[in-house]
């Protein structure tokens, strides 16, 4: 049995380029260059069937993190995500120091279009985390 070497996380969204730019800012990711033979992503996009146009991706420039792919879908988000990203900004921190790190990152992300939902306070089993939404309402946690 072969082992999996890479994972891609795919988001359904209305505005793939906008959501990709948001996640690039959050994670320090970059938009990869267009496929070989194309000067721009727009040039490549025009070669696709209409229903596949407008997708976007972002990648970890270090090659460590998973590729994120954003595909256009006609329907909007209706219920809570069944999968979400935890953005690890306070690893190893506890108590007030952890909450301060979460709040600082929250303050950085709000001007990018993120929405703060709720601070989930440490309860003895889990450390504090901050529940947020991206620019299209997809939940994620600052952890």
pTM above 0.85, yes or no: yes
Q: Would you say 129 and 120 are in contact if contact means Cβ atoms under 8 Å apart?
A: yes
Return the minimum-mean-pLDDT range out of 51-55, 121-125, 138-142: 51-55
Residue that has been written with the tokens 């709000």 in this structure:
110
Each residue's pLDDT tens digit, 80-123: 787 899 999 999 999 999 999 999 999 999 999 999 999 999 99
User: Which residue in this structure is represented by tokens 């935890």?
Assistant: 86
Q: How far apart are CA 94 and CA 12, in angstroms?
A: 34
pLDDT tens for residues 12-36? 999 999 999 999 999 999 999 988 9
User: Domain segments of the chain: what residues?
Assistant: 8-72, 85-142
């Amino acid at each position: 049995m072969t082992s999996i070497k890479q994972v891609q996380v795919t988001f359904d969204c209305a505005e793939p380029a906008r959501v990709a730019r948001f996640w690039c800012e959050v994670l320090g990711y970059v938009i990869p260059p267009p496929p070989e033979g194309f000067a721009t992503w727009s040039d490549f996009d025009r070669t696709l069937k209409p229903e596949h146009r407008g997708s976007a991706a972002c990648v970890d420039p270090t090659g460590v993190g998973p590729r994120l792919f954003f595909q256009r879908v006609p329907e909007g988000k209706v219920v809570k995500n069944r999968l979400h990203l935890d953005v690890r900004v306070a690893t190893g921190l506890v108590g007030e120091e952890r909450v301060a790190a979460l709040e600082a990152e929250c303050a950085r992300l709000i001007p990018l279009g993120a929405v703060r939902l709720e601070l989930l306070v440490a309860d003895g089993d889990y450390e504090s985390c901050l529940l947020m939404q991206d620019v299209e309402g997809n939940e994620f946690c600052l952890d």
